[in-house]
Each structure stands twice: as structure tokens, then as C-alpha cells.
Amino acid sequence: MSLFISQAIGGAPKQDEPTPSTKPTEPELPDNAEPVKPTEKAKPEVARFRDKLEKVSEKTVQPPEPPQEPIITPQIIADTRFSDDIELANEYITTRNFDSAEKIYKSIYTAEPKHLKNLLAYANLCFMQKRNTEAADLYNQALEINPNIVKALFNLGTICFYNRKYESAVNYLAKALQLYPKILGAYLILAQIYQIAGKYGESIKLLSHAVTLSPRNPVIYQKLSALHIQLRQYDEAVKVLKRAVEISPADVESRLILGYCLGYCNKYQDAFVVIDSAIKAAANSTNPDISFKQLHKAYVFLNQILEEQKMI
């Protein structure tokens, strides 16, 4: 079952466990971070956020034009003190001996609270263990030393997203993208935030940009198609779903939804052929029971989208 369908049915996202690192590499968004659907209780909060979002400069949240050579401010000040200790702590993390690693990070923090490399490593460990309050505090301390640490900004944006502090998440992620415009995860989270706020057009723009960064990622196409369906843009949804099926032929969910979208475009013969191929693919799969459950979930999900159309 594709992550797109399972998470859409399953509810709120769960934080993944990225490997802690102090290297200035591109942060990754957890694959299972799906749009958080606001509950009835949360709707007033979303409405307030929607108003606040209008105040955020559009320039900071629109996909920036990537420079030919991404410009990244050096993120870690050269400091060789405690290098051996930090290296040992990183080895402990590799073997999942987190307690021993944390003891080292804590001892260095006590001796030198402004040691940037240690701050980042300690923050990454807390983030990986979903200790988000501690992680956020450590990341903010690191940003006081160097405000242009891409990974710290991205992870803070992710933490704010999980805490439903959407305006803060937008600000952190936008700054991370200004420093490094090719962070796929940042575009995906921003797209989810705009979807929550009911700004589907902006969400589509962000996901379309994400596709250019990861053109063979079927999950992005599936997310994008769902937004087009919500806006009754069935022709666009068909284009996106055809690409998803091309990338992942075994994706019976995308096939089924593609068939229905073709029907909405009055291409009934094509719709029949595609839906028939989805059923046959499920029947001929190595595990037909699971495949037919996937088809059922795709059908339920499609009807859920159609119900949400009435609210737009």
C-alpha cells in the first residue's frame, strides 16, 4: 500500500527518525509526514492561522529560483576541541547506544555550552528521539552562534509543524530555503501547511516545484493529484496520475483513482480500461488480499476527497 493512501486514511503524521549528523547535508522530510487534517476542535486555530498567513510575505514562501551554484553559509565553526569525544558519541549512536552518546554530549555541553558542533549533535539526538522541546532549545542555542545553519532551521520548522505552530514553521522553512533552495522536505511541509490553511493553489505550486527536485518520486505525484481532484481539475489530475503509474506500475491505488478521473473527464472507455487494469493487477499480484484492500482504501480515499470538495 502506498504511503499516500495509508497515511491519508490513518490520520496525523508521525515523526520519523533521521540519523543525527553534524554535517551540512540536505535534511530529509520523513516519508510518512502526511497532511494533518484539522479536527473540529482545531478548526478555530486553523482559521486564525489562515489569517496570520496572509501577513507572511509571499516572496518568502514561494519557491525561490535555485542559483546555479547553491550558496550555503558555512554552518560549523572550525573547533577541534572535543573532536575525539564527539566522534566516539557518534559511533555510539551508530550502534544505537544512545545513553552513552548523550552522556558525552552532556559532559561537553557542561564544559563548553557554546561548542557548536556538540550543540548540533546533541540537538540531532534529541530530535531523533522525538524529544522536540529539548531539541528546539539546543537548535536555537546553535542559531544564536550561527543563524544560517540549514539543518537547524529545517528541523525547527519540522518541530513547529508537528506542534501545529504553522506560522513559525513557515518562517523557519522559508529561511532554510533561502539558504539552500533544494530542500525537498521543506517544500513538502510547506505544501501541507498551505493545504491545511485551505490555500490549495499555493500548495499545488509548491508540490509542482518539489516534483522538479525529485521527478521519480511517486508519492509527490499522488499528493499533487489529490489537490487537483479537490479543485475539480480532473485533466491535471489525470496527467499527474499517469506519471505516477508510469513510475510505479504496481501502484493499484493510483490506477484506480486515475480511472475515476478519466470518467470525470467523460473519457468513459479509457476509464473502464484503466479500472479494469487496476483490478487485474490486484488479482495477479503476489498477495491479492493486500492488493484488493489497497483498492478499497483508494476508493474510500477518493470519496473522502469528493466530500471535501463540497467544503472548498
pLDDT tens profile 202-231? 999 999 999 999 999 888 998 999 999 999
Is residue 54 assigned to a domain? yes
Contact in structure between 237 and 230 (CB atoms under 8 Å): no
Q: What is the mean pLDDT of the chain?
A: 81
pLDDT for the residue numbered 81:
80
Contact in structure between 172 and 161 (CB atoms under 8 Å): no
Angle at 212 between CA 207 and CA 213, to 5 degrees: 90
C-alpha cell of residue 95: 550502534
C-alpha closest to that of 20 among 79, 98, 74, 82: 98
C-alpha cell of residue 75: 554552518
Contact in structure between 170 and 181 (CB atoms under 8 Å): no
> How distant, in Å, are the alpha carbons of 77, 104, 220 from that of 203?
36, 42, 12
Q: Strand, helix or coil at 311?
A: coil
Q: How far apart are CA 38 and CA 47, in angstroms?
A: 10
Q: How far apart are CA 75 and CA 90, in angstroms?
A: 18
Is residue 171 assigned to a domain? no
Contact in structure between 159 and 136 (CB atoms under 8 Å): yes
Is residue 230 assigned to a domain? yes
* Distance, CA of 235 to chain centre: 25
Q: How far apart are CA 72 and CA 175, in angstroms?
A: 12
pLDDT for the residue numbered 83:
85
% of the chain exceeding 90 in pLDDT: 62
pLDDT for the residue numbered 45:
52
Contact in structure between 228 and 309 (CB atoms under 8 Å): no
Cα Rg for the chain, rounded, in angstroms? 22
Is residue 227 assigned to a domain? yes
What domain range includes position 2?
Answer: 1-12+41-63+198-312
pLDDT for the residue numbered 52:
54
The residue-averaged pLDDT of 286-309 equals: 89
Q: How far apart are CA 125 and CA 131, in angstroms?
A: 9
Q: How many domains are contained in the chain?
A: 1
Is residue 202 assigned to a domain? yes
Is residue 133 assigned to a domain? no
Q: Strand, helix or coil at 80?
A: coil
pLDDT for the residue numbered 240:
95
Q: What is the CATH number of the domain that holds 258?
A: 1.25.40.10
Q: What is the pLDDT of residues 144-157, one digit of tens each?
A: 999 999 999 999 99
Q: What is the pLDDT of residues 50-78, one digit of tens each?
A: 555 555 544 445 544 444 444 444 444 45
Q: How far apart are CA 305 and CA 205, in angstroms?
A: 19
